[in-house]
Amino acid sequence: MLATSPATQDAPMVVSTINVDELLKSTGRSIQVDKEVPLTLDVGNLTAFDMAPVEMATLGQGKARDAYLLKLTRENTQLLFNSLFSLPTSTVEKVKCVQLPAPTTKLPREKPIPKPKLPTKWEAFAKSKGILKKKRGRMLYDEVAEEWKPRFGYNKAGGDKEQNWVVEVPGNGDPYKDWLGDKEDKTKEKVAKNEFQRLQNISKQIKVQSESINQTVKQANISTASLGKFHEKSKDEKKAKAKGKHKKFDPVSGNTASEKEKSLALINKIASGGVSVNKEKAANKELGATIKRSREAERENRTNKRRSKMGVKAQTNHFDMKKREVSGPGKERKKRHQI
């Protein structure tokens, strides 16, 4: 490790070498730290969590507490740095760098993660064809002027009309055609095409953003208790349509012709053998319904027999006694007689 002192006009820069081992021995510290409970390291966020419990007796008070916390912090920081030095390294512009792994601790965000922008038509085409973007130089050699000139802008290479007063005519070209004017027209067409594609990309981005905004507004409108029935609509806002399938039921009153036609169609379908009926399942269902009816009838008979044994007079006296027990004044008179 090298330590440097700033150079001044009177004294030059002084460079001295420091022995790291001697420094660690003099301070009584080491890069090797042993802990009973290992740290929870999140190197991606440069964070360490110490879950070991701290006893109050060990913590102490005043200067002893500060010294203990300082020592604990140094040891945990040393372990974090040890994990950094164990990562693969690379040299970038004579500087040693490490590639941090992905963070493991999820940190809260105030706003959602922005969605990636849609690729333009050229970006999608270049990706499908495997075309890589190459950075071209800003300067271009002008063979007529025999010097380097900017590729675009003022005084660009090949931009002087006096230099481009001659255009080579192809072998099968029309010699009487205005080739200079044709070249200018093609240049204008390219500029117009690029501008049109730029506006198309902008409109596509705006359309995606407006759709997401409309979806958010619709969700907010139907989030009330009345599903947005009494919500004030903004200007040019359309009525929110409920999604999902809506089952329509036939009216229960009025014209019964449609119901009659459906019933006749079902009967004809069954009679013609177009509908397969599970006879065993139907028989079991009817048998179960018959057993249920017989059990209910048997239960009703047992109740009636029990009532007939008591007799009409006994039943009347029984219910009268129940009424007197429930009524309030009768209870109070009975209590007074007992006293």
At 17 the pLDDT is 42
Average pLDDT, the chain: 77
Per-residue pLDDT, averaged over 258-278, amounts to 79
Which of the pair, 267 or 11, is modelled with greater confidence? 267
Provide the whole-model pTM.
0.31
Cα four-point dihedral sign 258, 264, 266, 268: negative
Q: What is the CB-side half-sphere exposure of residue 242 using CA atoms within 13 A?
A: 7
- Say if residues 118 and 204 touch (Cβ distance below 8 Å): yes
C-alpha to C-alpha distance for 83 and 45, rounded to whole angstroms:
13
At 3 the pLDDT is 34
C-alpha to C-alpha distance for 78 and 33, rounded to whole angstroms:
8
At 4 the pLDDT is 33
Element (H, E) at 322: helix 312-326
Among 95-104, 188-197, 285-294, 324-333, the range scoring the smallest mean pLDDT is 324-333
- Report residue 154's pLDDT band, with 50, 70 and 90 as the boundaries: confident
Rounded percentage of the chain residues whose pLDDT exceeds 90:
6
- Report residue 290's pLDDT band, with 50, 70 and 90 as the boundaries: very high
pLDDT for 322 beyond 60: no
CA distances from 184 to 145, 187, 188 (A): 21, 5, 6
Per residue in 112-145, pLDDT (tens digit) is 888 888 888 888 999 999 988 888 888 988 887 8
At 10 the pLDDT is 43
At 333 the pLDDT is 53
pLDDT for 70 beyond 80: yes
Per residue in 164-211, pLDDT (tens digit) is 677 788 888 888 888 888 888 888 999 999 999 888 888 888 888 777
At 320 the pLDDT is 61
At 168 the pLDDT is 80
- Report residue 260's pLDDT band, with 50, 70 and 90 as the boundaries: confident
- Report residue 6's pLDDT band, with 50, 70 and 90 as the boundaries: very low
